[in-house]
Structure 1
Amino acid sequence: MPSRRPDVTDVEMVGGVERRALVLEDYDPAWPAAYAEHEQRIRRALGPTAAQVEHIGSTSVPGLAAKPIIDVLVTVEDITAEEDYLDQLLAAGYELRVREPGHRLVRTPARDVHVHVLEVGDGAAADYLLFRDRLRSHPEDRAFYERTKRLLVEQDWADMNAYAEAKTDVIAGIKERARRAGA
């Protein structure tokens, strides 16, 4: 669906680059319950504006070690219509962290939940789900991804974005296998 107005063209990181300790924890069965609490908070705040709310990222994959940060995907009809969702998410207790073309990120003040807002139909939303579902259903890819993360977390990173970027090729390979397999 075309946007009603132009989107932002730059990346705005509210608060600038943050250096944080990267720690992987073994899978915690409490993560789905934490996600469920935030899903309800988001749905109450946004109502039908939230076309989709999904648990994504490593904490959404049973058995996978992860940084203890719950990632949530929310899709909206028009990412540029921030008046439809951003103030509501801020009022629900989230803080704006990133505003960039096609993507907004809000998070909890404790920085333990990241809410990724994308537009309905954005390929990145489908990719998040493709990757999550592949890791859930293919133990060999899940184990390979976890080994990669454990090796990378031992290195010194300027910020979490640099760590995330270092995983790009591995993630792309797993998504490609999922696409070739038809799911």
Structure 2
Amino acid sequence: MSEVTPPWAYETPEIRPHDPRLLLVAGTERARLAELLAPWLADGVEHVGSTAVPGLAAKPVIDLMASVRDLSAVVAQAGDGLAADGWCYVPPELDQRPWRRFFVKPDESGQHRVAHLHLIQAGHPRWAEQLAFRDALR
């Protein structure tokens, strides 16, 4: 991440009615991430968060979660590929969640978040907890 804080970092969340188009966008992003992260994936890429629940009002930001074998290896070895695909890395010291590595995909203007990518260490309880929560809401 550059020294200049991007506008999307200060974007005010806005809850909107459910938008079924976000499910389609999430599917496309999941497929692309599965391709980019294939060498490191353990349990795949999942659409989680409020946009993954049909009918639920949500921020129009897609949350994707990928289970990987080695967080540091993904950042070091796939970081350039993710950046080329529009993903911005948020370093752990800014994210303050040591159990994940976090990326944000802004829109073309750089003003708004389109998606979040949560890389989770394979076997970490957060993976199952997040899926269980999403599935309970569904």
Same fold, TM-score > 0.5, yes or no? yes
Matches within 5 A, 1:14-29: 15=5, 18-29=9-20
The residue that corresponds to 1:94 in the other structure is: 87
Unaligned runs of 5+ in 1: 1-13, 137-183
Deviations 1:74-130 (A, max 9, x none): 111011223243333222221112424221111112211001111111111111101
Structure in which a larger fraction of residues adopt helix: 1
Percent identity of the aligned residues?
36
Deviations 1:25-49 (A, max 9, x none): 1111111101011112212212232
Give the letter for the 2:28 counterpart. E
Matches within 5 A, 1:1-183: 15=5, 18-51=9-42, 52-81=44-73, 82-99=75-92, 100-110=97-107, 111-136=113-138
RMSD (Å), alpha carbons = 2.0
Three-state SS of the structure 2 residue aligned to 1:117 is: strand
Larger Rg: 1
Unaligned runs of 5+ in 2: 108-112
Taking structure 1 as the reference length, the TM-score comes to 0.61
Structure in which a larger fraction of residues adopt strand: 2
